[in-house]
Chains A and B, each alone.
Chain A
């Protein structure tokens, strides 16, 4: 079976819970080449953002992702606060850090479960998700919702934390800490897990840097990079924590890094709860519409370390209470190239776990950057690689850009020609 065949994985495939497509070139069971197409699930959020006020956009952007919802709101409100020149009160910064770390805990535990499921280890999946419930309960008590916490608002946070909740979270963290120790001891040491993860999906440090990987994926390849340390936001400059890295760059290293990050998150939460400063929750008591009336026009780029890696929000304000442009670059987009890299040389059976290894949020990625193509062919290339988008704001001063109407027409043509492809 030495001849090469092409196997399509996705956009509908049992191991992918969201749509993405991999064209795998295989020799027998071994993958020799991989190509990736994404953006099957474009939701038009960036366009919708332009018709809503900054305040409403917090809730809209929160819904980009059901797992890192706090990441998106924090990144966005930080940008808006920068435009407004607001300084967030200490207590609000601490509460934001608390929710952010709880979110990281729940995201990593979720991933641990998913990774277990992908390698047929359903008991690990059930245990990880059971333990995750402690985090979800904490989030729900603190913010009022399990998934979309909606705790951020412009200039601060909406809900305070009382001593009862602090005690409840402390107790849960103590229990969770034991569980994390248990996972650290057993999961990477379990022989069948090693068989499936060791030397699988390897991305070297050099390749991780070249491909601009972010988050735990990059850190598992030995790349030091964490926005919480590099450009501290919220209360991260006041808490003590370590950036976890590993050298091997395989799935086992990613497993290790994520489990150790769980322990770091618990440590951060304990510090935040111990050092929580008293004070206001919001920078200004003015109603939001009055606050937003004073927004300056300008551009701002907000960076945030989401559980999956660096998340950026670019916000352009024209001085009105609706943003002129918000562009979101989610960490999964940065990590996709490493998947293509890691798939080469792997077995077909490893595809689910290699794809799951970066903890992809496939539909969150489906909004993609700005490609200003000179001609049809370049745009077609860009579409194939998923890097295409709308550059509406730039159309006037850049005639090479595609307007929304151009793209719509192009899209119709592309799909109509789809039968002959």
Chain B
């Protein structure tokens, strides 16, 4: 006769182990170096070439040039965190940060605009 209960020893062994889960948000885990969170942009060094906009599949980045003034707009609610903008940027002013808890009930807070001289 085949009796049920093959998992009993394992289950009782598990009682002695630390929890595999943590109490989020009181505790949170650390992100690896390569983690792709919210896009971080540094206007210093941006040439306004628009490669980030061109390669953004989600159309989350809009770059507009008005004479020598460049406006760089980023909508994190549209962003899908693929990191292609950072890879396409010739001057490496776009990086992916570690920020991930981005939920907000204020839609305006998702928009970031940088306006600067070329």
Contact = CB atoms under 8 A, between A and B. Distances in A.
Interface of A: 52-53, 55-60, 62-63, 123-124, 127, 130, 133, 137, 140-145, 148, 150, 153, 158-159, 182, 186-187, 189-192, 194, 287-289
A160 B34 CA distance: 11
B6 A189 contact: yes
B3 A55 contact: no
B23 interface: no
A144 B96 contact: yes
B34 A144 contact: yes
B70 to A, nearest CB: 20
B7 A150 contact: no
Most chain B beta carbons < 10 A, residue from A133, A137, A287: A287
B80 A186 contact: no
B7 A190 contact: yes
A145 B11 contact: no
B7 A145 contact: no
Contacts of B7: 123-124, 186, 190
B32 A144 contact: yes
Q: Which of B5, B36, B57, B58 has the most CB of A within 10 A?
A: B57
Given A145-B35, A191-B3, A191-B4, A59 B10 contact: no
Query: Chain B interface residue count: which class?
Result: 20 to 34
Interface in B1-40: 2-7, 10-11, 14, 20, 32-36
Contacts of B54: 289
Contacts of B5: 190-191
A133 B21 CA distance: 10
A130 B56 contact: no
A130 B34 contact: no
A57 B57 contact: yes
Nearest to B1: A191
A413 to B, nearest CB: 33
Interface stretch (B61-69, B82-90, B102-110): B82-90
B55 interface: yes
A143 B34 contact: yes
A182 B35 contact: no
B88 A287 contact: yes
B84 A55 contact: yes
Given A141-B34, A186-B7, 17 more contacts: A53-B55, A56-B56, A63-B80, A140-B32, A140-B35, A144-B96, A145-B36, A148-B80, A148-B82, A189-B2, A189-B6, A190-B6, A190-B7, A191-B4, A192-B4, A194-B2, A287-B51
A153 B86 CA distance: 14
A56 B81 contact: no
B2 A59 contact: no
15 contacts: A59-B57, A59-B80, A127-B10, A127-B14, A130-B20, A140-B32, A141-B33, A144-B32, A145-B35, A150-B82, A190-B5, A190-B6, A191-B3, A192-B4, A287-B51
Contact of B82 (A59, A130, A142, A191): A59
B63 to A, nearest CB: 15
A171 to B, nearest CB: 15
Contacts of B55: 53, 55-56, 288
A137 to B, nearest CB: 8
B22 to A, nearest CB: 11
Contacts of A63: 80
A141 B32 contact: yes
A55 to B, nearest CB: 6
Contact of A186 (B6, B83, B88): B6
A291 B103 CA distance: 37
Nearest to A188: B6
Contacts of A53: 55
Contacts of B87: 153, 158
A212 to B, nearest CB: 32
Nearest to A191: B4
A52 B34 contact: no
A59 B101 CA distance: 22
Nearest to B31: A140
A102 to B, nearest CB: 14
A72 B54 CA distance: 22
A421 to B, nearest CB: 38
A287 B88 CA distance: 8
Contacts of B56: 56
